[in-house]
Structure 1
Amino acid sequence: MNINEPTENSNVLEASSKIEVDYQLKIKLQSAFNKGLSHFRQQVKAPKKNGHVGYKTKSGGKNYDYVLLEDLIKAIDEGLKDTGLAWYQDCETANGVVRVRTIVTHENGYSKSSSWMEFKTSGNPQDAGSAMTYAKRYSLGTTFGVSSEADDDGQQATKAAPSKTQNGTKRPADRATTDQMTELTKLFKQTSEVTNGSLANVQKYYLGQFNVSNISQLTKLQADEIITVVKRKLNGGNKK
């Protein structure tokens, strides 16, 4: 045997060595990516909710404020300064369905993509355009963990304030009922199926707006607010 000819074992060792090098490089690139995200979270500022929408319910009318897409983009772009990160979105429209996903890239070449966000529309250009704007905002906000969704205009917040007992101490707000928690669980599951996102991320997103980690920690009013918002989106949330 010619000593200069590679043996089968040497080829295996070379392949194993390459895999190890590639793995170590991936870990290094991912570490820099995560460091950039951490820097972003430290300096990003919550955008103001300059969008307004009102709609009727059985109990009357409700008004909500939300973050406009352009304000969300501005807040995220400012938060990304000096992080080495950037982002862009893939958008598709076909057969009345709009699809959006957000891709976050690092200057070293590493990148991560969100799940596709899909919404069905009536098919006319105006509805498709509104749904696309909504999908862009929702995907961008959830990818970077920046809240952009509907919030009450202060009237509901006033109602949510704990009442006082006769001795002047504050009475704790009533917790969400079993029926509300069951309905929220069902709605979160439906949302994850519609958006192709994980159930855990959907739940974390909505509960995070009230600074709780479990449905059982919600008050009745908070649970009602989330139920209303999620139902509105599932039933054609093509409003900005």
Structure 2
Amino acid sequence: MDETQTYEGLAAELMELLSEAQKEMPNPKKSREGQKGYQKYKYATLDAVLDIVKAPLNERGIFLSQPSGKLDDGTMRVQTVVFYKGTQMVLDTKPYEYDSDPQEFGKRETYARRYSLLTAFGLAGEDDTDGDTGPAKAAPKPASKAAQPKKEQQVPDRRTRMLAKVAKYKATLMERGLSEDGLNAYLTAHYNVDSPDKLTDEQLIDYGKQLAKTVEEYEGKETPNVD
């Protein structure tokens, strides 16, 4: 048996033992309280996590180690590594930032080691706050009348303007003595409709010009533009 086969066999055996050990690892007790921004949460200490994972591993001849070191870019990292019969396997790697303050650096390393252990063995060691998007935001207050944008004034379309002029001419002619029935009879005779609304745009222009000429005759003015 060559070295490759030996390693593959040991790796497979190690994975099987890790699977068995993991079944005996309950989630650690969350005995400490922390705070992220506005929200408080509970978490398990590094000691509590180690107590959970080491015994099932050691009973199967598996040694646990968490070496840390500094990378070329200055970032620190900690690895969760297991050893079995001369074979080692890296289960997880967690980066963390270096700090010149020994106390702060110790906190960061402890957090990285704890988080790496939890990840490596699929354990939950702190309250899940990822789904919390923060406190509900108050509904925005309506803008004051001064701040509200003014509604854009709608400009009547061309047909609407023509209908308005026709109505104005009809009103003028009725004031001059022409009857509404007579004006409507002209509509029916020339365009076969009973209302200016039913005229096409071209018919409406023509009808408006006829009314304008009639107004001119009554008032002696130039023909108004209805287009």
Task: Give the TM-score, by structure 2 length.
Answer: 0.51
How far 1:151 sits from its partner (Å)? 3.8
Question: Aligned partners of 1:143, 1:85: CA distance in 2, in Å?
Answer: 14
> Is structure 2 residue 12 aligned with structure 1 residue 104?
no
CA contact (8 A) 1:65 1:151 kept: no
CA contact (8 A) 2:75 2:97 kept: yes
> Is structure 2 residue 21 aligned with structure 1 residue 44?
no
CA contact (8 A) 1:49 1:65 kept: yes
Matches within 5 A, 1:64-103: 64-92=41-69, 97-103=75-81
| Structure label with greater radius of gyration | 2
Q: Percent identity?
A: 26
Question: Aligned partners of 1:130, 1:90: CA distance in 2, in Å?
Answer: 16
CA contact (8 A) 2:57 2:64 kept: no
Aligned residues: 134
Question: Aligned partners of 1:81, 1:90: CA distance in 2, in Å?
Answer: 18
Q: 1:66 to 1:22 in 2, by over 3 A?
A: same
2:126 to 149, 171, 185: 149
1:139 to 109, 116, 140: 116
Question: Aligned partners of 1:27, 1:121: CA distance in 2, in Å?
Answer: 36
Matches within 5 A, 1:178-217: none
Q: Which residue of 1 is the match for residue 186 of structure 2? A: none
Greater length-normalized contact order (CA 8 Å, ≥ 6 residues apart): 1
Question: Aligned partners of 1:127, 1:69: CA distance in 2, in Å?
Answer: 16
How far 1:81 sits from its partner (Å)? 4.3
How far 1:33 sits from its partner (Å)? 0.3
How far 1:133 sits from its partner (Å)? 0.5
How far 1:71 sits from its partner (Å)? 0.3
Question: Aligned partners of 1:137, 1:121: CA distance in 2, in Å?
Answer: 17
How far 1:67 sits from its partner (Å)? 0.9
The one-character-per-residue Cα deviations of 1:47-94 (angstroms, maximum 9, x if unpaired) are 10111113443xxxx210111000000011123243221211112358
Q: Which residue of 1 is the match for residue 132 of structure 2? A: 224
Which stretches in structure 2 are left out of the alignment for 5+ residues? 136-227
Which stretches in structure 1 are left out of the alignment for 5+ residues? 1-19, 153-221, 229-240
> Is structure 2 residue 12 aligned with structure 1 residue 35?
no
How far 1:122 sits from its partner (Å)? 4.3
